[in-house]
């Protein structure tokens, strides 16, 4: 065990470059997991400075420590826990006053704070000058100016951390004066707490009691003070005594005009305002910023619509077009791997079922899944993350919030929907950006209704086959049906389950910034593609093996006698009202691991082949046997019917609720059945075949 080891928590507002500093310091020595019991990412990493081992923990980005969101609770509880020896507070120097609101709250919890004053290059560009020495004097803790994207100031930051660890810094943390009234109340409550034997952070607890802080009040009600992190040595206090303190806090709060909650934040901001006034100086007059000029167009009453549509279409087009070539490369590579493995197995006289299941089942099947999924995912998510990184995505949420409000949701839901166009799994994971629990659940459950790239690509092949030169309008109909179904389901869920819950939307619109390519690619490949593909392969591998076995057992049997043949006959009656055959339903079962493999699945269920590879034969066969109405019904059902297994897994992970996971299956299934029934029966009534 290294004696010279410190743990450092990194706190800061969203969008201030916290991750950039974290990545620059730790490089590849990091580990990403979740906070215990929460679906919020916890990144940890290690770096060394001299003989010190510095362990970094990246806290969720928050504007405050008010415990109003899971992120704020995590950040606060972690600082309160005493686990971090030092807290690095990353601060956006271009909006210092807003950021100091958090800094001053952190300083109320611990004096072991180093402030990283980031984005100093932007400060200069905007014509400001910040006196770092004066800021350090005002806050009473070390302040290190940084430009995280360029790596500037990071050695100094590491050195400051080390000095803190060695206790070589004199700290005089700033303390906000909350004014006569509030301070008077705080003193009385502090005295109450002292008489109960509670020591340490009394002032902080007293302030939170005045603010009616949900976590602290809950801890007092439950009689368990260690719950609200008042240190592990919290004395045991009778619950009557705690109730008495709560009652007094409530009385004092009610007697305070204006509202104590408002007054506390106001005084803190006043303090921050004074600090900024002293340390920041404007060198040039304000100019209209690039952000302002771009926003005038991007959020324009008219222009915003074609711009958003064009960008969405461009991303989808680039994804589909760009994925073709690497997909065929990958297919070739897996074909080669299959061939080499087959030759080797035949060489060593392996039995036929080993060769078949391993080569035709596992390698060919899984290879097909990877070949069709991987390239579009990489392209789509890189594009999307770039748009987010430069700041375009929050504008879309801003533009479309009103639309989503009509169905009871909010602007950030549109981002989930757009992410779901790429992959429903990532769509579900994106729901984390929605703070509001109700909106998040609804977004998770409805995201499988959005046509993912897998269904879109596979469906497109069939659309072109059956509708030829009418393919474009038909495709647009499917897109509209998919989005319409998502909106409808959102509305219904909100009406049925969440009538009482208020929604809401408070969102920062960060300035446009140059993309940080390294971070974008890192996030895309490791967090999104890596995680999702890993899961997909783990599900697809056994599934493709099973499918091969179903199609090839008993050995040598004619197609009708195989397990697939049996499935086709058994499922047939279920599909009749919808115009779907047993072959189609069986193929739809096979596509649950990955929707992309629908065409090879059909080839197997129609008995044309016994492995999951693409072939022209099946398309010719389908073109001759399916009528346009049947094809249209099948496609409709396929576009909507069930999320893939990886999405189900993600839904379970994100909700930790059996009810909501089941709901995410029921909602698309009911929607798909209803719409397909209407399409097929309607078509027959109209005499379409």
Partner 1 sequence: MSARLTEAGEARARELIRAHRLWERYLVDRKGMPLEAVHAEAHRREHETTPEELERLDAELGHPAWDPHGHAIPAPGGRVPSPPGRSLLEEGTPGSRLRIVCLDDETAALLAQLVALGLKPGADVEVLEQKPNLLRLHLDGNIVPLAAAAARHVSVVPAPALPVPLGELPAGSQARVVEAYGGGKHQRRMLDMGFVPGAEVTVIREAPLGDPIEYRIKGTAVALRRKDADTVLVEELRDE
Stretch that binds partner 1, among 37-45, 106-114, 331-339, 508-516 (CB under 8 A): 508-516
Q: Which residue has 């800021």 as its token pair? A: 135
Residue among 205 and 210 whose Cβ is closer to partner 1: 210
Residue among 260 and 363 whose Cβ is closer to partner 1: 260
Cα–Cα distance measured from residue 151 to residue 620, given in angstroms and rounded to the nearest whole number: 58
Neighbours of 64 (CB within 10 A): 17
Residue among 217 and 337 whose Cβ is closer to partner 1: 217
Least distance in angstroms from the C-beta of 211 to partner 1: 8
Stretch that binds partner 1, among 136-144, 298-306, 590-598, 610-618 (CB under 8 A): 298-306
Residue 402 binds partner 1, judged by CB under 8 A: yes
Residue among 38 and 261 whose Cβ is closer to partner 1: 261
Cα–Cα distance measured from residue 12 to residue 159, given in angstroms and rounded to the nearest whole number: 20
b/e map of 234-273 (b: 16 or more CB within 10 Å)?
A: beebeeeebeebbeebeebbeebeeebeebbbebbbebbe
Cα–Cα distance measured from residue 398 to residue 417, given in angstroms and rounded to the nearest whole number: 14
Residue 302 binds partner 1, judged by CB under 8 A: yes
176, 186 Cβ separation under 8 angstroms: no
Residue 535: exposed, middle, or buried by beta-carbon count in 10 A (0-12, 13-18, 19+)?
middle
> Residue 200: left (phi > 0), alpha (psi -120 to 50), or beta?
left
Residues between 86 and 115 with contacts to partner 1, criterion CB under 8 A: 94-98, 101
Residue among 201 and 412 whose Cβ is closer to partner 1: 412
Residue 257 binds partner 1, judged by CB under 8 A: no
- The residue from 124, 169, 248, 261 that contacts partner 1 (CB under 8 A) is 261
Residue 440: exposed, middle, or buried by beta-carbon count in 10 A (0-12, 13-18, 19+)?
buried
Residues between 486 and 505 with contacts to partner 1, criterion CB under 8 A: 502, 504-505
Residue among 120 and 323 whose Cβ is closer to partner 1: 120
173, 107 Cβ separation under 8 angstroms: yes
- The residue from 389, 401, 583, 596 that contacts partner 1 (CB under 8 A) is 401
Residue 479 binds partner 1, judged by CB under 8 A: no
Residue 609: exposed, middle, or buried by beta-carbon count in 10 A (0-12, 13-18, 19+)?
middle
DSSP string for residues in 66-130: SS-SHHHHHHHHHHHTT--SEEEEEEEGGGHHHHHHHHHHHHHH-S-EEEEEE-HHHHHHTTEEE
- The residue from 1, 506, 658, 685 that contacts partner 1 (CB under 8 A) is 506
How far from 356 is each of 8, 368, 544, 554, 607, CA to CA, in Å?
54, 16, 12, 13, 17
Residue among 66 and 139 whose Cβ is closer to partner 1: 66
- The residue from 4, 30, 46, 64 that contacts partner 1 (CB under 8 A) is 64
Residue 270 binds partner 1, judged by CB under 8 A: yes
- The residue from 399, 453, 661, 664 that contacts partner 1 (CB under 8 A) is 399
Residue 125 binds partner 1, judged by CB under 8 A: no
- The residue from 320, 471, 507, 549 that contacts partner 1 (CB under 8 A) is 507
Least distance in angstroms from the C-beta of 382 to partner 1: 27
What is the arrangement of strands in the sheet containing 30-34, beginning at the earlier edge strand? 30-34, 41-49, 52-58, 5-12, 86-92, 113-118, 143-145
160, 142 Cβ separation under 8 angstroms: yes
Residue 403 binds partner 1, judged by CB under 8 A: yes
Residue 305 binds partner 1, judged by CB under 8 A: yes
Q: How many residues contact partner 1, by CB under 8 A?
A: 46
- State the binding string over 322-361 for partner 1 (x if CB under 8 A, else -): ----------------------------------------
> Phi and psi dihedrals of 644, rounded to 5?
-70, 165
Least distance in angstroms from the C-beta of 401 to partner 1: 5
Residue 477 binds partner 1, judged by CB under 8 A: no
| Cβ contacts of 167 within 8 Å, gap of 6 or more | none
Stretch that binds partner 1, among 300-308, 310-318, 466-474, 614-622 (CB under 8 A): 300-308
- State the binding string over 211-250 for partner 1 (x if CB under 8 A, else -): x---------------------------------------
Cα–Cα distance measured from residue 231 to residue 236, given in angstroms and rounded to the nearest whole number: 12
Least distance in angstroms from the C-beta of 449 to partner 1: 23
Residue among 102 and 161 whose Cβ is closer to partner 1: 102
- The residue from 376, 411, 459, 600 that contacts partner 1 (CB under 8 A) is 411
Cα–Cα distance measured from residue 196 to residue 116, given in angstroms and rounded to the nearest whole number: 38
Stretch that binds partner 1, among 302-310, 321-329, 368-376, 423-431 (CB under 8 A): 302-310
Residue among 67 and 383 whose Cβ is closer to partner 1: 67
Residue among 101 and 609 whose Cβ is closer to partner 1: 101
Cα–Cα distance measured from residue 669 to residue 674, given in angstroms and rounded to the nearest whole number: 8
| Cβ contacts of 571 within 8 Å, gap of 6 or more | 582, 585, 586, 589
Stretch that binds partner 1, among 45-53, 196-204, 266-274, 656-664 (CB under 8 A): 266-274
Residues between 512 and 531 with contacts to partner 1, criterion CB under 8 A: none
Residue 121 binds partner 1, judged by CB under 8 A: no
Which candidate, 274, 321, 306, places its Cα nearest to that of 100?
274
Residue 439 binds partner 1, judged by CB under 8 A: no
- The residue from 111, 196, 203, 269 that contacts partner 1 (CB under 8 A) is 269
DSSP string for residues in 617-685: HHHHHHHHH--HHHHHHHHHHHHHS---HHHHHHHHHHH--HHHHHHHHHHHHHHHHHHHHHHHHHHHH
Residue among 151 and 504 whose Cβ is closer to partner 1: 504
> Residue 175: left (phi > 0), alpha (psi -120 to 50), or beta?
beta
Residue among 68 and 224 whose Cβ is closer to partner 1: 68
Residue 151 binds partner 1, judged by CB under 8 A: no
Cα–Cα distance measured from residue 209 to residue 244, given in angstroms and rounded to the nearest whole number: 12
210, 253 Cβ separation under 8 angstroms: yes
Cα–Cα distance measured from residue 303 to residue 382, given in angstroms and rounded to the nearest whole number: 25
- The residue from 4, 55, 203, 405 that contacts partner 1 (CB under 8 A) is 405
Residue among 291 and 341 whose Cβ is closer to partner 1: 291
Cα–Cα distance measured from residue 635 to residue 628, given in angstroms and rounded to the nearest whole number: 10
Q: Which residues bind partner 1 (CB under 8 A)?
A: 63-64, 66, 68, 94-98, 101, 211, 258-262, 265-266, 269-270, 291, 295-296, 299-302, 304-305, 397-399, 401-403, 405, 411, 502, 504-511
């Amino acid at each position: 065990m290294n004696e010279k080891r410190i743990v450092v928590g990194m706190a800061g507002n969203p969008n201030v470059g916290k991750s950039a500093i974290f990545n620059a310091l730790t490089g590849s020595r990091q580990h990403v997991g979740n906070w215990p019991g929460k679906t919020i990412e916890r990144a940890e990493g290690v770096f060394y400075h001299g003989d010190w081992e510095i362990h970094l923990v990246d806290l969720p980005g928050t504007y405050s420590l008010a415990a109003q969101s899971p992120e704020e609770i995590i950040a606060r509880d972690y600082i309160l826990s005493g686990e971090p020896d030092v807290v690095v507070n990353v601060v956006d120097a271009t909006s210092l006053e807003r950021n100091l609101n958090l800094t001053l709250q952190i300083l109320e919890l611990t004096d072991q704070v180093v402030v990283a004053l980031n984005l100093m290059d932007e400060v200069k560009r905007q014509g400001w000058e910040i006196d770092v020495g004066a800021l350090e004097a005002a806050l009473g803790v070390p302040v290190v100016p940084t430009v995280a994207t360029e790596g500037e100031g990071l050695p100094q930051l590491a050195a400051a951390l080390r000095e803190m660890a060695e206790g070589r810094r004199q700290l005089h943390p700033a303390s906000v004066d909350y004014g006569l009234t509030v301070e008077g109340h705080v003193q009385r409550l502090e005295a109450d707490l002292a008489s109960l034997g509670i020591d340490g952070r009394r002032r902080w607890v007293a302030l939170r009691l005045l603010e009616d802080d949900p976590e602290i009040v809950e801890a007092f009600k439950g009689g368990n003070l260690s719950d609200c992190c008042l240190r592990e040595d919290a004395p045991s206090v009778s619950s009557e005594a705690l109730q008495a303190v709560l009652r007094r806090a409530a009385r004092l709060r009610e007697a305070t005009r204006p509202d104590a909650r408002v007054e506390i934040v106001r005084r803190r901001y006043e303090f921050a305002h004074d600090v900024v006034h002293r340390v920041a100086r404007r060198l040039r007059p304000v100019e209209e910023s690039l952000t302002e000029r771009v926003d005038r167009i991007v959020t324009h009453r008219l222009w915003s619509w074609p711009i958003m549509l064009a960008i969405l279409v461009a991303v989808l087009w680039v994804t589909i077009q760009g994925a073709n070539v690497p997909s065929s490369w990958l297919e070739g590579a897996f074909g080669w791997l299959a061939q080499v493995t087959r030759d080797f197995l035949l060489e060593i006289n392996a039995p036929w079922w080993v060769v078949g299941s391993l080569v035709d089942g596992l390698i060919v099947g899984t290879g097909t899944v990877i070949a069709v999924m991987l390239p579009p995912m990489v392209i789509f998510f890189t594009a999307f993350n770039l748009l987010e990184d430069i700041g375009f995505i929050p504008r879309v949420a801003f533009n479309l919030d009103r639309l989503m409000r009509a169905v009871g949701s909010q602007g950030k839901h549109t981002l989930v929907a757009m992410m779901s166009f790429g992959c429903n799994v990532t769509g579900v994971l994106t729901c984390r950006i929605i703070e509001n629990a109700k909106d998040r659940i609804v977004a998770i459950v409805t995201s499988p209704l959005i046509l993912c790239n897998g269904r879109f690509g596979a469906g497109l092949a069939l659309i072109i086959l059956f509708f030829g030169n009418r393919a474009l309008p038909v495709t647009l109909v499917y897109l509209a049906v998919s989005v319409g179904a998502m909106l409808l389901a959102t509305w219904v869920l909100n009406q049925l389950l969440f009538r009482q819950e208020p929604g809401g939307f408070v969102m920062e619109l960060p300035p446009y910034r140059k993309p940080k390519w390294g971070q974008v690619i890192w996030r895309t490949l490791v967090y999104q593609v890596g995680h999702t593909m890993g899961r997909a392969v783990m599900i697809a591998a056994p599934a493709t093996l099973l499918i091969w076995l179903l199609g090839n057992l008993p050995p040598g049997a004619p197609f009708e006698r195989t397990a697939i043949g049996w499935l086709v006959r058994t499922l047939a009656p279920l599909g009749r009202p919808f115009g779907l055959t047993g072959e189609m339903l069986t193929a739809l079962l096979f596509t649950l691991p990955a929707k992309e493999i629908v065409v090879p699945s059909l080839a197997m269920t129609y008995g044309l082949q016994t492995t999951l590879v693409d072939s022209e034969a099946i398309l010719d066969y389908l073109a001759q046997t399916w009528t346009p109405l049947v094809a249209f019904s099948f496609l409709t059902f396929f576009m909507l019917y069930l999320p893939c297994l990886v999405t189900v897994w993600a839904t379970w992970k994100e909700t930790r609720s059996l009810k909501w996971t089941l709901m995410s299956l029921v909602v698309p299934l009911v929607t798909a059945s209803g719409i397909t029934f209407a399409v097929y029966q309607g078509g027959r009534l109209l005499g379409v075949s």
